[in-house]
Amino acid sequence: MDGSAVTFHKQRGLVVSRGVAAMLALLFAGCMVATGLLVYKFASCTAREAATISAGGAGQDWPLAGSSHNQQLATHAAPSSSTPTPSPTSSTPTTAAPTKPPKMDVRLPRSIRPESYVIRIVPFIVEGNFTFHGEVEISVEVLEVTRSITLHANDLRVLEESVSVTRRDGSGGEVPVDRLGSDGPRQFLVLHLGAELLPGERYNVSMHYVGHLNDVLQGFYRSSYIAGNRTRWIAATQFQPTDARRAFPCFDEPALKATFQISIGRPTNMTSISNMPRNSEPEPVEGLPDYEWDHYGQSVPMSTYLVAFVVSDFGHLSAGANFSVWARQEALQQARYSLEIGPKILKYFEDYFEIKFPLPKIDMIALPDFAAGAMENWGLITYRETAMLYQQGVSTNNNKQSVATVVAHELAHQWFGNLVTPSWWTDLWLNEGFASYVEYLGVNAVEESWKILEQFVIFDLQNVFSLDALKSSHQISIEVEHPDEINEIFDRISYGKGASIIRMMDHFLTTDVFKKGTTNYLNSKAYQSSTQNDLWAALTAQAHRDGVLNETVTVKEIMDTWTLQTGFPVLTVSRDYETGGANLSQKRFILFDSEEEANGSDAASGQPPPLWWIPVTFTTLEQPDFEDTRPSLWLGAEPSVALPQLPASEDQWVVFNIQETGFYRVNYDERNWRLLIEHLMDRDRFEQVGVINRAQLLDDALNLARAGLLAYPVALDATRYLSAELEYLPWKAAFNAFGYVDGMLVKTGGYDKFKMYMLQLIQQLYEHTGFTDSPSDQQLTVYKRINVLNWACTLGYEDCVLNSKRQFQNWRSTPNPDKNNPISANLKSVVYCTALREGGQDEWDFAWQRYRHTNVGSEKDILLGALGCSRETWILSRYLDWSMTDNSGIRKQDAARVFAAVANNPIGQQLAYKFLRSKWDKIREYLGSSLFTINNIVRSSTRKINSDFELEDLMRFAKAHGHELSTATRAVEQAIEQARANVQWMRLNYRPITEWLAGVTAAPAS
């Protein structure tokens, strides 16, 4: 292109002056061209670069829309072949290993504040060019004296001659731009100016640039699908947390809100959508006869990470004028359920927050390739297909609930996250924790029969306990700097623990106070950014007004102990059965690997052990009340407190943490445990204990034993009553806890005893639920059946295995298996996995073909899981290899699903870990920096390591690749800690457990 260009890439910027370039060309002509190119590649970024955009051809700047030079744009867009040639600044991953970034200040200077953006962008996807050309004009206000403007750019090539800074005082005066600089590690683009900018002045900063539509699902990226034997291309965005800078130069921090006016140049046979409605009819793009501009209205003030646009040939369905769903034409009817519930949930949240949705419309779009589950972009929510599409008769009840939950989560974000945004990623949990809690309220409003509020305990609270029990867990509110660190905290701590402590707060403040305080917070901070302290202040004010909290206590004082400390407590109840009193004490619950950690101290740091404000609720056998969740007293960040009002009786049990609303475990003296076990073993009385608390008792007992705080025989005795239990929640909690024991024992000689005990335990539940799925079954009945069948078939229960094999064979015998599947949707996961586990290559190949041919995302997901159930090691090895191979049929977003499926197979676990260890470079190169995928692969592949040899091998792997783990660093640290805990668990517990199992299976309970 005519004029200079500066490239801003995460590795290095490239800048060489025209004179130097010409001199180099003369000096190193002929045989020295290669050397010249190396010098060019690694030149200093303080001079100018003379270069053309690799996607271009004629060597002209890309002009503004309407310019007389627009004919040149057609030349730049024309591809030389159907396969794109990555430019030197392409974001395509290379084999060079990234290093762990040093601690640095990556925050932008506060001298400049953006006020508005005008963005014009043209993606070239139809021709296979896979570049995009853009121009951005940013209106800024000067806050401090400065001679430079610093903003973000990553994997973009900025045309230096196009960069201008002009006054907005009406004079039109231009501030000279002396040069452009880049700071690669910080992803900064720096405009060095020839004059000082003074506080209060306003300027327009504009520039043209070119980027690459990458295939790593970050920034502005490309996706594709097959329709009519043709590949159809899509251009879509994913900017959270720090990838808006991959699509346009910007001030890419959440607090730096501005308005956005976006124009998309797209092929005439495609459509585009963005955050706001289109504000005019499409108009031609001069110089590109097959392209049109879509101009969108100016947005409300919002963060850069919420900007979104998609170019596709999708169809859409609408509910009224302001709510639409988009999907591939072949899958569009699968979006009807989302369209049905979306407006209802939106209306529920409008009423809940008492604030109208502030935008004129919402679009929801299901994308074939999407790294996360979904993204809450304001007014344009993007989803994986499995997170938004549901096909009656093909998708399962679980798929339907998942769709409803994700839709509710993203709609909740439109207020909590979008309207009010955390000032920095330290408080990411305010976004994700709040949405992860109120999503349950939203779903309950449209599907009340599902009893989803009860499900919270097993799907979020108990689920996140296992991660937060690790020493390598992290605070909810945690200081983060580098983008890798920001990416690391998009985990179960921010989501599940965040949701759990917000639920706890809802209960101890009362829902009325909680809702009023939240609404006051949203109104006071609308279109601004905030910190957790702003929320605490609003809730405290409301709690004091309504007399819920003592005037001397603040929400901040309580909640800081939960957000600024790592982990959670175990509340130990030591009763005095003669006086009726008890001592309540707390310490951090941790899966220990040293004596210090087992005792709850923090010897490594020299700090005293952490203490929490614990809302204490309890009930007794004498007056059982499992509904009242208001605290009876507080354990106020102190080691212990005396409780006088318990029954003075040796045959009266007590249960603490009603409905498990508090984010803590409870341990009792052995006498109280025995009283509870005795009560549960009474088939006529065990249901007097609330169903959520029965689930809590099982989960607490088995995990207290896992951490060495309760003898395993006591914990296992608590499970014996399950032979009479028919409710889903206790069984789900037990299955989750038993899953760990199963994973530890499955490769040992004592597994037969565990297997026998489990088959005895589930027999009545199996007979009660049966193998027949009925459309009239309640949601929890369906879930109960799926869980017991999964365990029965995995344990080799003959009736279950034969049923599964017969149903799968019936499907194989169907004339058109892709259109006619006789297997009930809810039973597919059990039937498919069992048939492939019991079968061979023929069964696997049949399932693989069904995976390739199905048009339903949820069916693909079930099949991906089942394909990992084979007992053929070569099939599993090939399956892992395909997950890292282009055009194999497995999308990059699904690679972690494949690893999880294989690693969950006792035969496949070591294969998955071996693949991770020996082909780490291939995984990194193929997936790039895809946070969710790589972290999930690390976790699933290492979860069941429980021998000294495997642990040492994992530590060698971590040491060898420590400098290149990047966003997977925390996941690997947690994997090592988990493996250490597993090794210690085997050493301490294998014999006591197998001895207990030998006794109970020899004389099963009646």
859 annotated active-site: no
Distance between CA 4 and CA 7 in Å, rounded? 10
Using an 8 Å Cβ cutoff, are 887 and 852 in contact? no
Rounded Cα gap, residues 158 and 208, in angstroms: 6
How many CB atoms within 10 Å of residue 585?
Answer: 17
Pairwise CA distance, residues 687 & 697, whole Å: 13
**Residue 34, C-beta contacts closer than 8 angstroms, at least 6 positions apart:** none
Catalytic residue among 410, 485, 488, 725: 410
Contacts of 663 (CB under 8 A, 6+ apart): 461, 497, 500, 501, 504, 562, 568
Q: How many residues does the chain have?
A: 1006
Q: What is the dihedral of CA 892, 898, 903, 906, to 10 degrees?
A: -160
Report DSSP letters for 199-239, one per residue. TT-EEEEEEEEEEE-BSSSSEEEEEEEEETTEEEEEEEEE-
**Strand-pair partners of 530:** 422
Q: How far apart are CA 967 and CA 927, in angstroms?
A: 12
Q: Which of 790, 793, 779 is nearest to 728 (CA)?
A: 779
**Crossing angle for the helix pair 779-794 and 828-838, nearest 10 degrees?**
10
Structure tokens at 709: 């705080």
Tokens of 356: 């109208």
Single-letter amino acid, residue 595: E
The phi and psi torsions of 67 (rounded to 5 degrees) equal -70, 155
In order, the DSSP letters of 662-714 are SSSEEEE-HHHHHHHHHHHT-TTTGGGS-HHHHHHHHHHHHHHHHTTSS-HHH
CA distance 457 to 463: 8
| φ and ψ of 490, to 5 deg | -80, 75
The enclosing H or E element of 363 equals strand 362-367
What span, in angstroms and rounded, lies between the C-alpha atoms of 613 and 663? 11
> CB atoms < 10 A from the CB of 596, how many?
14
**Token digits of residue 882:** 């395909």
What b-and-e string marks burial along 218-246, b requiring 16 or more CB atoms within 10 Å of the CB?
bbbbbbebeeeeeebbbbbbbbbbbbbbb
Q: What count of other Cβ atoms lies within 10 Å of the Cβ of residue 755?
A: 19
Quick one: which of 824, 825, 872 has its CA closest to 848?
Answer: 872
The position carrying tokens 């199992």 is 997
Encode 146-204 in three state secondary structure: EEEEEEECCCEEEEEEEEEEEECCCCCCEECEEEEEEECCCCEEEEEEEEEECCCCEEE
Q: Alpha carbon of 722 to those of 695, 727, 759, 837, 967: distances in Å?
A: 11, 10, 12, 28, 42
What phi, psi does 478 have (nearest 5°)? -130, 140
Identify the H or E element spanning 834: helix 828-838
Q: Phi/psi of residue 514, each to 5°?
A: -60, -45
Angle between helices 511-524 and 498-509 (to 10 degrees): 120
Distance CA 602, CA 599 (A): 9
- The catalytic residues are 410
